[in-house]
Amino acid sequence: MNRSTLTLLTGATALAAIPALAQQDTTFTRGERNTDLAPVEDSQFRAELVSSGIETEHETVVGGLVHPWGIEVLPGDGGYLVTEREGRLRHVSEDGTLSEPIEGLPEVDAREQGGLLDVALGPDFAEDRMIFWTYAKPVEGGVVTAAAKGRLNEDMTALSGVTDIFVQEPAVDAPMHFGSRILFDGEGHAFVTTGEHFTQENRQLAQDLDTTFGKVVRINLDGSAPEDNPFVGDENAIDTIWSYGHRNIQGALMMDGELWTIEHGPKGGDELNLTEAGKNYGWPVISYGEQYSGNPVGSGDAQQEGMEQPDYFWDPVIAPAGMLAYDGEMFADWQGDLLISSLYPGGIVRLEIADGTVTAEERLARDLGRVRDIAVDQDGSLLVVTDFEDGQLLRISTAGQS
């Protein structure tokens, strides 16, 4: 697809205000690499930078959110669910009315990167009003990534029947790298992504099949392990593990029946992966990045026998968080493209993909700073939450549509 010049908004406005328009800085260039590790295939790295030529505007739906992490769109005109990392789940109406915290959530460990994280509607929400979420769970010995479910009442003020369906093991006192996305495959399974809790010691556990550090886990909706998981029957492995060798997966989606994940690298080396059953994605043995100290990661190599190559990687990083495949009507030229929220340098990264290969990349809305999660509303507009002490839920629309 041919792309031309893009215009985006700068500065958030209230819903009732007239959105301001500003020309995007089209001089964006990628910075210098941290490593000189060459990709196996040219298509893994630095696809052509393009511009969409789409005039957009953004406006504030609601502000005053404290480090919002996850957003989910409710059916019809039901509004939105938003998590705040400190442990609050909020309902936001379409007109921007912010609810009091929804009652019934479990205790969270809100230190550092921990707290209340992702939120998702269950696959049968219209019938059972079940929602799912992930969080940093305080347990004996420290903290773990956990996933839970509960029934949201009709007036969206409280949860009932709250039950954990996944609890990471083992517990450690390292409140970093929790993962932590939850999504469904439409066949009765949930995928939960985890991190490896950052430290030099903990990261080694991403390669161990007797822990759920640095893994994607696949579970039935009651938390049990599906019989066709890749390590079922292996006495040396946890049977909920789907894939391993991950650093910190904060974005995931199902596309054409396949699981795609995006994870934070260290200094360089963020990765987009088609994430398949039983495969080893290399961390912390191989990476296209380096440690924050400047020392090599693991073996110092980016390729090794028996370890998967990323489908695409970034150096320097985009610090990826939420990710979706666009399927709305408002941005028709973006159908099927991946939209990724970026914490650093910020904004949204758009990828064009053909036959599983990234063919073009665009940087959007960089003036928004730390974008933690992204969703598509009923009308095809984009919803994003910004990860600040005074965070916002923002709507991005084509010009004249707000």
Residue 59's beta-bridge partner residues? Answer: 395
Residue 315's pLDDT is: 98
Between CA 297 and CA 203 the distance in angstroms is: 11
**Does residue 200 surpass a pLDDT of 50?**
yes
Between CA 197 and CA 175 the distance in angstroms is: 7
Residue 72's beta-bridge partner residues? Answer: 81
**Does residue 402 surpass a pLDDT of 80?**
no
Catalytic status, residue 67: no
Between CA 85 and CA 111 the distance in angstroms is: 9
Residue 351's pLDDT is: 98
Q: Phi, psi (5° rounding) for residue 26?
A: -90, 10
Residue 26's pLDDT is: 54
For the segment 316-373, what is each residue's pLDDT rounded down to a tens digit?
999 999 999 999 999 999 999 999 999 999 999 999 999 999 999 999 999 999 999 9
Tokens standing for 124? 């049968």
Strands (E) across 185-240 are located at 189-193, 215-220
Domain ranges in the chain are 61-337
Tokens standing for 129? 């009003």
- Tell me the residue length of the chain: 402
Percent of the chain with pLDDT over 90: 91
For the segment 15-50, what is each residue's pLDDT rounded down to a tens digit?
323 233 333 445 688 999 999 999 999 999 999 999
Given CATH 3.40.190.10, say whether it is the number of domain 61-337: no
Residue 61's pLDDT is: 98
Q: Which of 67, 177, 197, 246 is catalytic?
A: 177
Could you give the C-alpha distances from 340 to 95, 104, 231, 263, 384, in angstroms and in order?
26, 31, 30, 11, 10
For the segment 202-243, what is each residue's pLDDT rounded down to a tens digit?
999 999 999 999 999 999 999 999 999 999 999 999 999 999
Residue 399's pLDDT is: 81
